[in-house]
Amino acid sequence: MQDVIRLLPESLANQIAAGEVVQRPASVVKELVENAIDAGSKSIVLSVKDAGKTIVQVIDNGCGMSETDVRMSFERHATSKIQQSNDLFNINTFGFRGEALASIAAVAQVSVKTKRENDELGTLLEIEGSEIKNQEPIQCKNGTTFSIKNLFYNIPARRKFLKSNPVELKHIIDEFQRVALANPEISMTMISDDKELYNLRAGNLAKRIVQMFGRSYQEQLYPCQEDIDVIKVKGYIGKPENAKKTRGEQFFFVNGRYIKHSALNHAIMSAYDGILPDNSFPFYLLYIECDPADVDVNVHPTKTEVKFADERTTYAIVSAAVKQALASYGITPSIDFGIDVNFAKDRSTHSIPSSMMPPSEDQLTSNVPDIPNVSSNGTFTNTNSQEKEVGDFSINVPFEGDDTSSDDFVKISSKINSWEDSPSDSNSSDFSSWNPIENPSSANNFSSMDNESESITFSSRANDLTEATTTTIKDDSVPSDNVIPIQIHHKYIMYQVKSGLMLMDQEAAHERILYEKFLNQMENSTGVSQQLLFPKKVTLNLADFTIFTEYSQEIAALGFGFQLEDNHSILIKGVPTLIQGNDEQEIIEELIEQLKYNKEELRISANENIARSLAKRASIKSGQILELQEMKSMIEQLFSCSSPNYTPDGKKTIVLMDYAQIEGLFNLR
């Protein structure tokens, strides 16, 4: 029988290896720029065309390579950094596996020009699909120039799975940012389609952050630094009030290498616990320096994941360092690290103003009205429940007379607003200027609803008093014109229906209304724009500008009038009529943050992403006072929606409490 096992051809083996190392143009950028840093470069220029699909070029002024070295660098597992196994645990450089250049050369057309300082001539090497096409001496500058052309030219199936240019450029920018932030002492320039995107001069870390993300970051950062024997932590963390809805601006570097580490991220988030808005993520950029023998960087082909010899100690030190930095600026109470940890003792301390301190338990509960607890014998005690967290109180209501067990009680829980969520802090626009109804047709008003027999079905927990049941809301559950809705705590709308009582979350309901309107406008290009008297120029960082460019057609279809300009700027000429607010910069920035959040967490179409993001941004917020006609109009518009029961992300908009449930609360039979 004929033998069937054979060695793969070298070129095919390299293509298979490229599947791990070279996933997209950004992977090429990462490998080449890191090699330039390993070569001791003080200046690096990255140039791409068509988001790296046509060409990726990296020019450095590093040490260069000899004629033999440049040829050997494209052999698999060829490296100058490892000679024995022990060297794996003492790595202070980036490229050491010896796979990157061989993998890139297997799926692209590669040209390399390199020269050492003491050599009279440099070397030109050209490779296509792992095959050497040309090698000759040439005249060139000191350093190395890599040109990677037509990535995946010989693997069309891989090439067609590349994303659009804005998406691929965004990945390249991410890689460039990480390397630039890890090496602020190196001058770095990025050019895309002959347009300069970044020109970062050498300097300190603070200067690099401002160059990268904008001048506004000068006022948003706190320095964070701790230095002990086993580990050093330094860098910057962001102010809680400047936290964003996405994780994009969070960076860890271990011995100069960018990493992703869920445990360390949790350490930082735990330090911010209680001082961040919901679903928000702070900026942080932290360098961790430790003995290379205490960290394993060779656990993933992209080398973005590492393992620490002592995960718990690293976690504790990072968390403590961030807590101390926050405490130093009056954000959280200072903590005592204790003798065992041996943190620096010369740290200056700052007193915390009383106005910045969160309320105590006594303050939090002092304004809570006394809530009677109904006991099984019918007596009342004016005590707040101690079994809940601060700010919770409950009523135990018996259903079956005096002789009841604990299972016969329904617990009605109420959450007191947290100290930072008072209505006065609402940044929503004045709702009195909002016109929620735009010439509704007669088919959508209340009188026509009364004559229809269609039913709307949705799931209800009856305000969490009973288990979820599926309830059918018929047309007689929609209020008639003579029913007057009322607003509760400037957050909910309550009104009587024939079957009982209906509660509506005004923010969630308005979000559903706007979502369907925005989606319809984009699908039909019917967005109406309100022209600005004076156009507003909005300047973004490059990453956000790229996101805006990616969705520019969908944004324009909503009614935004704008013009893309140089230096990552957008000239806003008009905004959709459904959006209230005078700060165009804030509107655009919040829209982009929501777009990034949806893109990271959900797999949805561009239209749906835009509609969700803008509806979330433009909907009225809790705490907004509504007039009677505004409440009626919102109810009418909600029940005109195709899916009125839930927001686009699944939150309930309405809850029905039927008559039997209301009777049960009062123990009536």
Least confident of 55-59, 348-352, 577-581: 348-352
| Contacts (Cβ under 8 Å, ≥6 apart) of 626 | 431, 487, 490, 493, 506, 620, 634
Shared domain check, 542 and 436: yes
Residues 80 and 178 in one domain: yes
Of residues 87 and 666, the one with the higher pLDDT is 666
Lowest mean pLDDT among 117-131, 243-257, 533-547, 595-609: 595-609
| Cα(79)–Cα(457) distance, integer angstroms | 66
Helix (H) / strand (E) containing 122: strand 122-128
| Rounded CA separation 65/379 (Å) | 90
The answer to the question of residue 293 being in a domain is yes
What is residue 112's predicted lDDT score, i.e. its pLDDT? 96
Residue 357 lies in a domain: no
Count of domains for the chain? 4
Average pLDDT over residues 129-151: 93
Statement to judge: residues 583 and 619 lie in one domain: yes
Report the chain's C-alpha Rg in angstroms: 31
Last residue of a domain, one of 169, 200, 231: 200
CA–CA separation, 183 and 203 (whole Å): 9
State the average pLDDT for the chain.
Answer: 75
3-class SS shares of the chain: helix, strand, coil, % to 5: 35, 25, 40
Give the residue-averaged pLDDT of 465-484. Answer: 50
Q: Which of 55-69, 154-168, 476-490 has the weakest average pLDDT?
A: 476-490
When pLDDT is cut at 50, 70 and 90, the band that residue 600 belongs to is low
452 and 527 assigned to the same domain: yes
Specify whether 96 is located in the same domain as 231.
no
Q: What is the DSSP string of 169-217?
A: HHHHHHHHHHHHHH-TTSEEEEEETTEEEEEE-S--HHHHHHHHH-GGG
pLDDT at 601: 64
What's the pLDDT band for 662 if we cut at 50, 70, 90?
confident
Same domain, 572 and 662: yes
Q: Is residue 437 part of a domain?
A: yes
The residue among 294 and 453 whose pLDDT is bigger is 294
Q: HSE (CB half, 13 Å, CA atoms) of 550?
A: 25
Question: Are residues 575 and 452 both part of a single domain?
Answer: yes
pLDDT level of residue 287 (50, 70, 90 thresholds): very high
Q: 112 or 559, which is more confident?
A: 112
Distance, CA of 658 to CA of 566 (rounded, Å)? 59
Question: Do 288 and 172 share a structural domain?
Answer: no
Task: Give the confidence band of 392 by pLDDT, cuts at 50, 70, 90.
Answer: very low
Residue 212 lies in a domain: no
Last residue of a domain, one of 299, 320, 352: 352
> What band does 384 get if pLDDT is binned at 50, 70 and 90?
very low
Q: pLDDT value at position 303?
A: 65
* 448 CA to centre of own chain: 44
In our burial notation (b when 16+ CB lie closer than 10 A, e otherwise), range 574-599 reads bbbebbbbeebeebbbbbbbbbbbbb
| Residue scoring higher pLDDT (661 or 669) | 661
* CATH code, 658: 3.30.1540.20
Assess contact for 32 and 56: CB atoms under 8 A.
yes
Residue 535 within a domain: yes
pTM score over 0.75: no
Starting from the edge strand earliest in sequence, which strands make up the sheet with 221-227, in order? Answer: 221-227, 232-238, 284-289, 250-254, 257-259
Q: Give the other-Cβ count within 10 Å of 440's Cβ.
A: 13
User: Does residue 400 carry a pLDDT above 50?
Assistant: no
| Single residue among 352, 382, 398 that ends a domain in this structure | 352
The predicted pLDDT at position 452 comes to 39
Q: What is the DSSP letter of 430?
A: P
Give the single-character DSSP code of 650. Answer: S
In-domain check, residue 607: yes
pLDDT at 549 over 80: yes
Q: Which two tokens stand for residue 465?
A: 């008093």
Q: How confident is the model at residue 89 (pLDDT cuts 50, 70, 90)?
A: low
Decide if 364 is inside a domain: no
Please indicate, yes or no, if residue 396 is contained in any of the structural domains.
yes
Residue-wise pLDDT for 177-228, tens only, equals 999 999 999 999 999 999 888 999 999 999 999 998 888 888 888 999 988 8
Share of the chain above pLDDT 90, in %: 31
Of 355-359, 625-629, 640-644, the one with minimum mean pLDDT is: 355-359
Shared-domain flag, residues 536 and 607:
yes
Query: Average of pLDDT values for 646-656?
Result: 90
Whether residue 436 is found in the same domain as residue 395: no
| Domain region containing 623 | 427-669
Q: How confident is the model at residue 301, as a pLDDT?
A: 59
Instruction: List the CATH number of the domain containing 226.
Output: 3.30.230.10
Are 607 and 525 found together in one domain?
A: yes
Residues 330-378 have pLDDT tens digits of: 775 444 433 333 333 333 333 333 333 334 434 433 333 332 333 333 3
Residue 53's Cβ-side half-sphere holds a number of Cα atoms within 13 Å equal to 16
Residue 373 is predicted with a pLDDT of 34
Residues 52 and 121 in one domain: yes
pLDDT tens-place string over residues 414-454: 333 333 333 334 343 333 333 333 333 333 333 333 333 33
Sorted by sequence, the CB contacts under 8 Å of residue 536 that are 6+ apart come out as 571, 572, 584, 585
